[in-house]
Amino acid sequence: MRQLVFLLFFITSVIHSQQFKTFTNYTGYLPETISQLNPTGPFKDFKGSAVDLDNIDLEDLNHITTSVLALDVNGQVSGLGVTAQKDDYTIIYTFENYMEVYDRNDKLFRVGASIEIEVRVKTRKKKLNLSDLFSVAIQAERNKLSGSLTMTAKGFNPSKVYGLFNINSSIDKASIQQILKNVGILISKLSDKNVALDAVVLGHKSEDGSL
């Protein structure tokens, strides 16, 4: 099962992107990395029971989702697969283990733990498939794009994952292979009962969209 989830993190079956839209018009989920929305506490679950971030355990996280989002130079967002034109982009690949909660204003949030890979791409070529990291590496090797990538984790106890995030480099096959290895280690920790969580707000439902 863990191998399947790992595979899904990097391969998307849809290679055609939505049009880039403003956050207000975007239909879908927006991670905190892209769009921050401060919740009005306290949180509650779908049954109306109170949820305390400090007391969330691994077994409380009942959703697993992978996603790919892109931001263009105008700060607009696109989901599904990402097909680049001549432009600069920030692409966010995420793996999230979470539960859904509502704040006092009944806005829907995700809370839990996540792994995020942020790729900043500069390209002057058209119709490049950037839907997964393998595609990014291939395009970089062909000199069709350049840029940098970083990897972060949220919701993990820092002492348990220290040393897995010393990657902040240009895009090449070696750096992407190292990131893939580290993501696999982190995903395995989400099934390790000895790993303490520090659950955080991961993102929210877009204004007119849905999770």
Residue 134 lies in a domain: no
pLDDT reported for residue 195: 73
pLDDT reported for residue 83: 64
Residue 201 lies in a domain: yes
Residue 159 lies in a domain: yes
Residue 187 lies in a domain: yes
pLDDT reported for residue 6: 47
CA dihedral in degrees (170, 176, 178, 182; nearest 10)?
110
pLDDT reported for residue 7: 45
Strand pairing of 43-44 and 50-51?
antiparallel
- Which of the two residues, 85 and 126, has the higher pLDDT score? 126
Residue 138 lies in a domain: no
- Over residues 91-141, the pLDDT tens digits come to 888 889 999 999 999 999 999 999 888 888 888 777 777 777 888 888 888
- Under the banding of pLDDT at 50, 70 and 90, the label for residue 160 is low
- Under the banding of pLDDT at 50, 70 and 90, the label for residue 208 is low
Residue 140 lies in a domain: no
pLDDT reported for residue 2: 46
Spell out the long-range contacts of 122-128 with Cβ–Cβ below 8 A and sequence spacing 24 or more. Answer: 122/88, 122/146, 122/147, 123/84, 123/86, 123/87, 123/88, 123/89, 124/86, 125/84, 125/86, 126/84, 126/85, 126/86, 127/83, 127/84, 127/85, 128/83, 128/84
Residue 171 lies in a domain: yes
pLDDT reported for residue 165: 60
Q: Which domain does 79 fall in, by range? A: 2-126+146-205
Residue 62 lies in a domain: yes
**Minimum mean pLDDT among 62-66, 89-93, 193-197: which range?**
193-197
SS3 state at 79: coil
- Under the banding of pLDDT at 50, 70 and 90, the label for residue 159 is low
User: What is the tally of structural domains in the chain?
Assistant: 1
Whether 192 shows a pLDDT value over 80: the answer reads: no
How far apart, in whole angstroms, are the C-alpha atoms of residue 141 and residue 208?
A: 39
- Under the banding of pLDDT at 50, 70 and 90, the label for residue 8 is very low
pLDDT reported for residue 14: 33
Mean pLDDT (whole number) for 204-209: 69
SS3 state at 167: coil
